[in-house]
Amino acid sequence: MKMWTQIVTILGASVLVAACGAAPALADKSLMPDVVLMQSESTQEAYRFAVAHPDDLTTVPCYCGCVGLGHRNNRDCYLKPESEPDALVFDDHALGCEICAEITHLTIELKGAGASPGAIRTAVDARFADRGPGTDTPFPAQTMTVN
């Protein structure tokens, strides 16, 4: 029960801070393939975030069942593993998957609120773990402060 209280507190605080926080930068639309540009603004935003912040999504699991496609994390729903910043290789999986986009939008919201990668991961796990099999995504490394 204590863990749920902490998660609710984190999510509640993130919504409050997100209202005042800055949204993370998105990749320019010119980098998106036509098939992405034909989608909803929400889907476009998720793809643009994935291109601008691919490392942020490597520590976020996906719970849509795409592990069966070989996906390792939420990033793989948007970009193929061989994708590089100067040679983007898009995956079309997230074009039709609401769970992928919901996970990415929660990540955008929490990142904009200043949440740590660990807090983002905890929130995603809490909200989506019951949706389906998750990817085997390592938990983000924690940094420790020594006084």
Give pLDDT tens digits along the chain (147 positions). 554 444 444 444 444 444 557 889 999 999 999 999 999 999 999 999 999 999 999 999 999 999 999 999 999 999 999 999 999 999 999 999 999 999 999 999 999 999 999 999 999 999 999 999 999 999 998 654 555
Judge contact between 53 and 111, C-beta under 8 A.
Answer: yes
Share of the chain above pLDDT 90, in %: 79
In a domain, 140, yes or no: no
β partners of residue 84: 87
Domain that holds residue 16: 2-128
Dihedrals φ, ψ of 84, to 5°?
-125, 155
Q: 146 lies in a domain?
A: no
d(CA 76, CA 71): 5
- One-letter amino acid at 25 equals A
Reduced to 3 states, what is the DSSP secondary structure of residue 84? Answer: strand
Count of structural domains, the chain: 1
Instruction: Tell whether 116 is covered by a domain.
Output: yes
pLDDT digits (tens, 9 = 90+) for 109-136: 999 999 999 999 999 999 999 999 999 9
Does 69 map to a domain?
Answer: yes
Neighbours of 144 (CB within 10 A): 4
- Is the residue at 144 inside a domain? no
Residue 51 within a domain: yes
Cα 9 to Cα 39, 119, 124, 147, distances in angstroms: 34, 11, 14, 26
